[in-house]
C-alpha cells in the first residue's frame, strides 16, 4: 500500500549504507512514490511488508525473472530485505 512507503523508506535508510543513499525525510521525495507506483503496476514485482498490528516492521522486494535456461524456468530475485531496528534479533 502506498501508505506503507514512508515506513519502508525509513527501514531502507536505517543502516550504514542506507543512510548515505536514502532520504526518509517527510514529506517523501516523489521519486519514492513513483517507484512504488511502478512496482505496484508490474505483475513481475512483489513488494511485501511484515506488520505487527498497524506497524510495518519488515519488508522485502521480489522480482520474478523469466529465463530460457532450465526449460524456461522463472526465478525470483530477492532484494531490500529489512527488519525494523527495534525488532531485530527477534527471529522475524
* Averaged pLDDT score across all residues of the chain: 96
Question: Which whole number is the average pLDDT over 42-47?
Answer: 98
Which one of 3.40.630.30, 3.40.1650.10, 3.30.70.1560, 3.40.50.2300 gives the CATH number of domain 2-86? Answer: 3.40.630.30
| Position 92 pLDDT exceeds 90 | no
Quote the pLDDT of residue 16: 87
Q: Is the separation of the CB atoms in 73 and 2 below 8 Å?
A: no
Please determine, for residue 37, whether its predicted confidence score (pLDDT) is greater than 90.
yes
pLDDT at 1: 81
- Residue-level pLDDT at 7: 96
Phi first, then psi: give them for residue 49, nearest 5 degrees: -125, 150
> Confidence class of residue 54 from pLDDT cuts 50, 70 and 90?
very high
Which DSSP string do the residues of the chain spell out, in sequence order? Answer: -GGGHHHHHHHHTSSHHHHHH---PSSPPHHHHHHHHHHHT-TTEEEEEEEETTEEEEEEEEEEEE-SHHHH-EEEEEEEEEE-GGGTTS--
Average pLDDT over residues 25-39: 97
Amino acid at each position: 500500500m502506498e501508505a506503507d512507503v514512508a515506513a519502508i523508506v525509513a527501514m531502507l535508510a536505517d543502516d550504514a549504507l542506507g543512510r548515505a543513499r536514502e532520504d526518509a525525510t517527510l514529506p517523501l521525495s516523489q521519486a519514492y512514490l513513483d517507484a512504488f507506483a511502478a512496482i505496484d503496476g508490474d505483475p513481475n514485482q512483489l513488494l511485501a511488508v511484515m506488520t505487527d498490528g498497524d506497524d510495518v516492521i519488515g519488508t522485502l522486494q521480489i522480482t520474478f525473472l523469466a529465463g530460457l535456461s532450465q526449460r524456461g524456468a522463472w526465478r525470483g530475485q530477492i532484494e531490500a530485505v529489512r527488519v525494523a531496528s527495534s525488532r531485530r534479533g527477534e527471529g522475524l
